[in-house]
Amino acid sequence: MQKNQNPVLIIAAFFAIYVIWGSTYLFNKIAVTELPPFMLASIRFVTAGLLIFGIAKARGMSLKITKKQLLNTIIIGFLFLTYGNGVVVWALKYVDSGFAALEISAQPLVVLIMMRVLEGKKIQAMSVIGVVLGIIGIYLLVGQKELISSRESVIGMVMIFTCLISWSYGSLLAAKADLPKSYFVNTGYQMFFGGLMLSIASIGFGEEWSLPTTWSKDVQISMILLIIFGGIVAFTAFNFLLRTVSPEKVATSTYVNPLIAMMLGWYFLNEQVTQQSMLAAAVLLTGVYFINTKRKLSVRYSRFRK
């Protein structure tokens, strides 16, 4: 993990994974009304990867990559995008979005446990409190509607949990693996290969492909925003943060994204924001604070911290 990074860049990167990724709920919701999910994701990521390569080349950045780095970007692209992102969409056939959001909110906890088991790192008490508050907040957010009426499918639950493991392990791997030094180029390779594997999945599931010229204007605009901001900008910021701060802090985006999605849904789609939603927002943001804070619960705890 790299030290002494510019705090302004770190704040900007968190803004990207918190706010920009939160907005992708809205744009995906618009796009998926016309496009099959794996095709949508495939076009989004492959296009973003190719654009990154073009921009990097125009700026004189090297696209050279070793065999080991290439293998690592393919593996991480699969863990993050092909499986971690694609299978969640597929699993929504069996589990409604409210329960999916609740289960995905456990990602910081999964990351913490993996860090303990695989890397032997001590779990900070403040982080545990933050994770618990985050899960409670997500429950308050989605429990008022979707979760209460949900038919909990074992298949869907298991598949989403495997996506959590995939994304969490990918976060730990990306934080220390041999990858291209440029976060931008690294993102390009992950997106390109992750998108290619999603296209194979799309063909395998028999999805019908269509040309962008046949899409509605709203879908075309949504896809452009997903590619440029949700893909190139936010995912580059994500890779930057994984090499700069602790992975469980990066995982707090799973708490903030639903809040951003809720606010955008209220503003653009006239969705109702209840008092329970506002309470959930307060609990979620408190959880994010606990995970990101550098304070310790006590002097004794600080003394024995590694």
In contact, 222 and 27? CB cutoff 8 Å: yes
Residue entry with tokens 């065999």: 67
The answer to whether 201 and 43 are in contact (CB under 8 A) is no
CA distances from 230 to 8, 21, 129, 148 (A): 20, 6, 29, 30
Can you tell me the distance from the alpha carbon of 172 to that of 194, in angstroms, rounded to the nearest whole number? Answer: 18
pLDDT tens track for 56-65: 999 999 999 9
Structure tokens at 258: 């639903």
Provide the pLDDT for residue 206: 96
Tokens 């907005």, located at residue: 23
Residues of the chain with pLDDT under 50: 3-4, 147, 149-150, 298-306
Strands (E), 156-218: none
The pLDDT score that the predictor gives to residue 143 is 66
Query: Residue 100: what pLDDT?
Result: 67
pLDDT at 153: 64
- DSSP single-letter state for residue 230: I
CB proximity list for 204: less than 8 A, separation 6 or greater: none
The number of beta carbons lying within 10 Å of the beta carbon of residue 182 is: 16
Beta-carbon contacts of residue 158 (< 8 Å; ≥ 6 apart): none
Quick check: 130 and 266 in contact, CB under 8 A?
Answer: no
Tell me the pTM. Answer: 0.80
DSSP string, 11-76: HHHHHIIIIIHHHHHHHHHHHTTTS-HHHHHHHHHHHHHHHHHHHHHHTT------HHHHHHHHHH
Report the amino acid identity of residue 231.
G
What's residue 107's pLDDT? 81
A 10 A CB-CB count for 1 gives 11
- CB-based contact 37:89 (threshold 8 Å): yes
Q: Give the integer Cα–Cα distance in Å for 85 and 125.
A: 30
Q: What is the CA radius of gyration of the chain?
A: 19
What are the extents of the domains in the chain? Answer: 7-304
The residue type found at 89 is: V
